[in-house]
Amino acid sequence: GQQVQQSPTSLVLQEGENAELQCNFSTSLNSMQWFYQRPGGSLVSVFYNPSGTKQSGRLTSTTVIKERRSSLHISSSQITDSGTYLCAMELSGSFNKLTFGAGTRLAVCP
Amino acid sequence: EAAVTQSPRNKVAVTGGKVTLSCNQTNNHNNMYWYRQDTGHGLRLIHYSYGAGSTEKGDIPDGYKASRPSQENFSLILELATPSQTSVYFCASGEQGTEVFFGKGTRLTVV
């Protein structure tokens, strides 16, 4: 079965609204990383967050290893936040190899 | 800033031809990876390497070879390209337990 489950699959927001993206994993892991990707674009690392909470501007990531979940919170969304957000986990014993979720496609409308 | 550079950025190849995708990293990372990204399949690992001279099979290695001649360089080789290998390919580098950095990707079209 799929080891990394992301939800929701897609999300539409009005500019200024908040968003909560979830990533759940079915096995133990070493670390979790969040990426942002524009259509046809490269993967930009948003957070490397193996555990706990990290914040960068309007973005906050929380990883709870025991509960096998990680979340990405976007506050006061902007049109430029539109794109796909991917979570990726480094499984225990996988030596830095990442297993990706399918992504959440976010559209922020004016 | 960590840097992973891929070349070419775009490539059109003919079926049956040989294609080499190159990747260079200036991070002095031991680990390097090749992924492909396809609609409906997400990102999948093709080959990876733990250091110069080593290559390992990932989740979808069939039809691909890899070469790691040095710490900095990691190539993905398609000996006999097929249309099913049309995809976007990403190279990455990292160390165990640390952040992984990706290149900008190579868009390969096999006609």
**How many Å apart are CA B70 and CA A81, to the nearest integer?**
38
pLDDT beyond 80 at A95: no
pLDDT of residue B12: 98
DSSP string over chain B: ---EEEE-SEEEE-TT--EEEEEEESS--SEEEEEEEETTTEEEEEEEESSTT--EE-SS-TT-EEE--SSSEEEEEESS--GGG-EEEEEEEE-TTS--EE---EEEEE-
pLDDT band at A31 (very low <50, low <70, confident <90, very high): confident
Q: How confident is the model at residue A27 (pLDDT cuts 50, 70, 90)?
A: confident
* Residue A26 pLDDT exceeds 70: yes
Query: Do B41 and A90 touch, CB atoms closer than 8 A?
Result: no
CB contact under 8 A, B102 and A35: yes
**Does the beta-carbon distance from B43 to A88 stay under 8 Å?**
yes
For chain A, give the percent of residues with pLDDT over 90: 71
Nearest-CB residue to B48 (from A30, A97, A101) = A97
Q: Is B54 on the interface with A (CB under 8 A)?
A: no
Closest CA to B86 of B104, B71, B106, B72: B106
B103 to chain A: nearest residue by CA? Answer: A42
Can you read off the two tokens belonging to residue B1? 């800033």
For residue range B98-111, list pLDDT tens digits in order. Answer: 889 999 999 999 99
DSSP-assigned beta bridge partners for residue A56: A59
B46 within 8 A of B61, measured Cβ to Cβ = yes
> Are A30 and B96 inside 8 Å of each other by CB?
yes
Residue A12 has pLDDT above 60, yes or no: yes
Between B101 and A93, the more confident residue is: B101
Q: Please answer yes or no on whether B97 and A50 come within 8 Å at the CB atom.
A: yes
The list of chain B residues with pLDDT below 70 reads: 1-2
Which pLDDT belongs to residue B2? 63
